[in-house]
Amino acid sequence: MSFLTSRLPLKAIQLSRALLRPAALASAPAFRSDPTHLTNFNKHNRHLTTGSTLKMPEQLSKSEVTSKTDPSVAKQWDNETPMSEQVSDLYSLIDSLKLCMFTTTRPNVGPVSRAMALAKRSGPDLLFLANTHSDKFSDLDSKKTVLVTFSDSTSKGWVSITGEATTVDNSDPRIKDIYSPTVSAWFGDLGDGKHDGSYNDPRMALIEVKTTYVSYWKKTTGTLGFLKEVGQAALTGSVAQPGLSRRLEGDVLEQERSKA
């Protein structure tokens, strides 16, 4: 008998598996790090660790309901891990993923997202190579604020970055530094000796996102621990704590930017 089945009834195992199905995960509420809730987060005063550690689900209190606090955020909020470690974890997560969803705002439409590959991370800021003929550039002419999100399908960790985007044409020397031959696959070669998909291609441009706000979530349990945590919480009416919810902004980002 496995570790999980020896400690959980069959109903809990079945429920945990159901909760891990893509449809269930897609409909689950996202973890938010709204600063208006931070006073309530601090009341929990839990010891937080960054290893693969299983915490028992915590019961929901009446005050947490009446205070309009999101209990899933409050019980996973990390205000104890040193900021240097939180920054390091953020960078590790971004660098391991590379592919993100890049969201702009289009006039008379609203938010528009597309998948983009991160060309380089410079401290907390992000650099992308893109075709100046794409609609995202006209979006950015209208509104500079963007949202960049990363998601790890294996660990379920995610990163949400809000920032201000600036665009630079192919005269920027950084384009040559971060260019790789595979980028040309997305531009094509017109055979005119100019529009060839190289870093000299006039269509090649740089989008730089200066990060202003980061929220991210890091899982701290293994697969079995996650199953047990979610299953037990669902059966007992308590709140699961399979990871840590964190936020970076203001002076922290400026300090990291100065180091890059």
Which sequence spans correspond to the domains of the chain? 10-80+220-246, 86-215
Burial of 183 (0-12, 13-18, 19+ CB in 10 A): buried
Predicted local confidence at residue 26, as pLDDT: 41
Does the pTM surpass 0.75? The reply is no
Phi-psi category of 243—alpha, beta or left, where left has phi over 0 and alpha has psi -120 to 50?
beta
Percent of the chain with pLDDT over 90: 58
pLDDT tens per residue across span 60-112? 565 655 666 787 777 788 989 999 999 999 999 999 999 999 999 999 999 99
Name 169's Cβ contacts closer than 8 Å, sequence gap at least 6.
Answer: 132, 202, 205, 206
- Comparing 122 with 67, which gets the higher pLDDT? 122
Predicted local confidence at residue 20, as pLDDT: 47
Handedness of CA 168, 173, 176, 178 (dihedral sign): negative
Whether 198 shows a pLDDT value over 80: the answer reads yes
How confident is residue 56, by pLDDT bands cut at 50, 70 and 90?
low
Predicted local confidence at residue 239, as pLDDT: 77
Predicted local confidence at residue 220, as pLDDT: 81
Predicted local confidence at residue 18, as pLDDT: 54
- Comparing 222 with 216, which gets the higher pLDDT? 216
- Structure tokens belonging to residue 131: 């075709």
Architecture of domain 86-215: Roll (2.30)
What DSSP assignment string belongs to 46-97?
----SSS---PPEEPPHHHHHTT--HHHHTTB-SSS-HHHHHHHHHHHHHHH
